[in-house]
Structure 1
């Protein structure tokens, strides 16, 4: 019996809305698609334009102030083709709320790329509601382009990809994703495990001072090693355990990283934002692009 054919990877999907952050996302996503060897799919999701766009443009007498959806998505796709002539690019307009449309697009995508914010007028240091919703619900990895990324996935600026290894050390999807991103860029993977010594375990006895901390640090190192055990041998890995809250440790590491990778649990049937506190914090404060990789939450 012949083995089933391996499924080809889906396209890389990037969401656009005509704003400058979304156009920078197109530039970055085009480079990432080339690295992955997959097509780029540009999607403009807009609910209001289906019902009100043309009428509103006529009413204000300035049709150029409200570019048609096809113009927006077409210009974004052409921008990607100019930067990477050999890249296969498709574009589509979806008349639906952006967060719902992009999450659905993610079901057949190898990854989703979104900008920090759209045309809401919110300061760029804050994460837009669409980007947050997509990162919290998509079934595929979501890359949110925070910080300074020079509008391109390569060449590497800082020469490293950082992955945060959390309590779910046995969940390998996050580490595998980070390892592949590092390999594509030709840079080392830096695996970081934050640890803390609870205050009630500290002691003032001079012979025991520091012992609880050493035990917690040792446990963090063992968990980190377990998480990296199955990585391919051709991936260069730097291991680092750091005392402190994981949110602070990873945001600090983002200042010297080209991509920060974190995990997000997904539990079937659960509603609301499925992001942990660490992922939520780095999405708001990271100094570099953040990849949120979903993994199923296992019942006890």
Structure 2
């Protein structure tokens, strides 16, 4: 059985090519194959303008050019990474969700070729993060996002209500170990009936029950962290979305979990996950939780 690939959805835009860079680095780090896919509906429009010299639909020629350009970029980045390409005759959302069935992870740029503002994630990314069967990484940030073991920014983990056995915790730990960087586990808490301020929990200081509960969740998340991994524990009073966005400012990767809800199809994104996917200052990994 072949190794599961890291899949990248490409559309020819600069954000999608930055996603190719990030995914190529990740594939090299993991020794995993890289699969570059472009979801196109060209097969439905046969009979439109043709590329005369190839006797093929223009849409097919354009799609092949998109994946070809992405392949060249990936190989320039890491010549030893195994790269395959494909054009999917489907809507992007449908095609990438299907790809997630057998992928190690699916990687996207922060937006597609639509007219959305640069800061916003396109509808494809939101749908994929809500329904994929593997981690979805949205490459955000203005830096090149290159994985540099020992030099890249830390991995930040947003600790959920029930972190025990969490797929997000496992993914965050694995990423930190692979990169050789610290892991910071962050849990937000709020004080009922009082104004919310952002302040860390200091050892020996006064603690509310909510504050103590947050600290316990963080300890639970890091309980099985391997020896030798540098870990940092942090609880912050405030809204979870704002706390994680602040933590993303100098991080290399932000990891959050997405939980499947009973009676619904796929994964339903919380406001926190939705917010960080749209506004984080670093790449975000949305990891589906099965429990």
Provide the rounded CA distance (Å) in 2 between the counterparts of 1:158 and 1:73. 28
1:112 aligned counterpart, secondary structure: strand
Matches within 5 A, 1:281-292: 281-292=275-286
Greater displacement, 144-153 / 120-129: 144-153
Match of residue 117 from structure 2:
123
Matched, 1:20 2:14: yes
Instruction: Return the offset for 1:158.
Output: 5.5
Alignment length, in residue pairs?
279
Instruction: Return the offset for 1:270.
Output: 1.5
Match of residue 3 from structure 1:
none
Could you tell me which runs of 5 or more consecutive residues in structure 2 were left unpaired when the two chains were aligned. Answer: 52-56, 197-204
2:147 aligned counterpart, secondary structure: coil
Match of residue 253 from structure 2:
259
Matched, 1:177 2:179: no
Kept after mapping to 1: 8 A contact 2:149/2:178 = no
Kept after mapping to 1: 8 A contact 2:40/2:92 = yes
Provide the rounded CA distance (Å) in 2 between the counterparts of 1:287 and 1:238. 20
Provide the rounded CA distance (Å) in 2 between the counterparts of 1:101 and 1:65. 17
Q: 1:56-112, CA deviations, whole angstroms, 9 ceiling, x for partnerless residues? A: 467xxxx99995211211121121112111111000111000111111111111111
TM-score (norm 2): 0.88
Kept after mapping to 2: 8 A contact 1:17/1:72 = yes
Matched, 1:40 2:34: yes
- CA RMSD in angstroms comes to 2.6
Matches within 5 A, 1:198-277: 198-199=192-193, 214-267=208-261, 270-271=264-265, 274-277=268-271
Match of residue 287 from structure 2:
293
Say if 1:158 and 1:120 are closer, same or farther in 2 by CA, change over 3 A.
Answer: same
Match of residue 200 from structure 2:
none
Provide the rounded CA distance (Å) in 2 between the counterparts of 1:175 and 1:140. 14
Instruction: Return the offset for 1:24.
Output: 1.2
Larger Rg: 1
Say if 1:201 and 1:149 are closer, same or farther in 2 by CA, change over 3 A.
Answer: closer
Q: 1:226-268, CA deviations, whole angstroms, 9 ceiling, x for partnerless residues? A: 1211121132111111111110000000001010000000246
Q: 1:160-184, CA deviations, whole angstroms, 9 ceiling, x for partnerless residues? A: 1100002122242111100111111
Matched, 1:73 2:83: no
Provide the rounded CA distance (Å) in 2 between the counterparts of 1:105 and 1:79. 21
Provide the rounded CA distance (Å) in 1 between the counterparts of 2:266 and 2:99. 19
TM-score (norm 1): 0.85
Instruction: Return the offset for 1:152.
Output: 2.3
Q: 1:31-80, CA deviations, whole angstroms, 9 ceiling, x for partnerless residues? A: 01111110000001112x2223772467xxxx999952112111211211
